[in-house]
Amino acid sequence: MKKLTYLLVAFCFLTATSCIDIVEEMFLKKNGTGKYVVTMDMSALMEAGTKEMLEGMMDEAQEEGDVKVDMPAEMDTIIYFTDAPDSLKRKLSHPEILKKVYVRTIMSESKEKMIIKFAIDFDDMKEIDYFLEDLDKLQGDNAMTGGLAGAGGASGGGGGGLLPGGSAKGMFKLAKRKFTRLAGDQSNPMMSEEELQMAKMFFADASYKTIYHFPGKIKKTTMKNATVDGKTLTMITPLIDILEGKAAMEGDVCFKRR
């Protein structure tokens, strides 16, 4: 498991709160292009008194060899990955998509907000897989992500274990007006049994929401526990299912032309 996930679990253990909610959202156009966005809301970490506690835990992690992550009091910035240094681009398998990717980080001590949003404007759904694959390689590069890569960069699907992983064939597929989310690889759980037991206690109420916006009205779906409203499909999955690698998010969605 990535260190941030463990740090969040430990932090929630101390504060007895579920401190993160995640929204994964896709906006799909008729021509197969679109936008894929992952938003992590960790505003609970900016509440009075808790920011200082988390910074203290980060300092301890740094002493053990982890990358230091500074938490500014006020920040609202957008960083485009195309601005990455050449030394970093050479590490990536698909540097050509960097111009389509950005991260927005909002931190406000006065408003008690901490929101981190990754987004990619894709021309083909395979670029989402490339994005998540290469995002893993940005782990620890604070210059590019404002500290996020060292505090939640993707791994095997992303987010230090906080995002569901894909399969060897990728995560999404589109054939005409049939959208498919493929089953993820469940063979490598992100946590040890001890870590899972702690997470079950303190991420019990945290949610992972998935929202798909289609260009036409939805006709039918095989996705479990999905709510359909016209052109929009929503699923809410317990975050603990993501952490355990047991989230069943796969299925098909058939939609009309418009």
- Residue 220: CB atoms within 10 A of its CB come to 9
Number of domains in the chain: 1
CA distance linking residue 117 with residue 34, whole number of Å: 16
pLDDT over 50 (residue 170): yes
Q: What is the predicted pLDDT for the residue at 140?
A: 45
What mean pLDDT is reported for the chain?
74
Q: What is the predicted pLDDT for the residue at 54?
A: 55
Q: Which domain holds residue 173?
A: 3-255
Structure-block tokens of residue 125: 């759904």
Q: What is the predicted pLDDT for the residue at 136?
A: 63
* Low-confidence winner among 10-24, 27-41, 163-177, 220-234 (lowest mean pLDDT): 10-24
Question: Is the four-CA dihedral 96, 180, 23, 140 of positive or negative sign?
Answer: negative
- Average pLDDT (197-222) is 86
- Average pLDDT (217-225) is 95
- Average pLDDT (201-230) is 91
Would you call 122 exposed, middle or buried from its count of C-beta atoms within 10 A (0-12, 13-18, 19+)?
A: buried
Q: Among the ranges 32-46, 155-169, 216-230, which has the highest mean pLDDT value?
A: 216-230
Report residue 193's pLDDT band, with 50, 70 and 90 as the boundaries.
confident
pLDDT tens per residue across span 88-116: 777 778 888 888 988 888 888 778 788 88
Report residue 188's pLDDT band, with 50, 70 and 90 as the boundaries.
very low
pLDDT tens per residue across span 51-64: 555 555 555 555 55
Would you call 185 exposed, middle or buried from its count of C-beta atoms within 10 A (0-12, 13-18, 19+)?
A: middle
Higher pLDDT, 204 or 254: 254
Higher pLDDT, 115 or 198: 115
Report residue 179's pLDDT band, with 50, 70 and 90 as the boundaries.
very high
pLDDT tens per residue across span 1-27: 444 454 554 545 444 445 678 899 999
Do the beta carbons of residue 41 and residue 206 sit within 8 Å?
Answer: no
Structure-block tokens of residue 198: 């702690």
Q: What is the predicted pLDDT for the residue at 155?
A: 36
Higher pLDDT, 60 or 180: 180
pLDDT over 80 (residue 205): no
Angle at 214 between CA 208 and CA 218, to 5 degrees: 95
Task: Identify the CA nearest to 21 among candidates 45, 41, 48.
Answer: 41
Say what percent of the chain tops pLDDT 90: 26
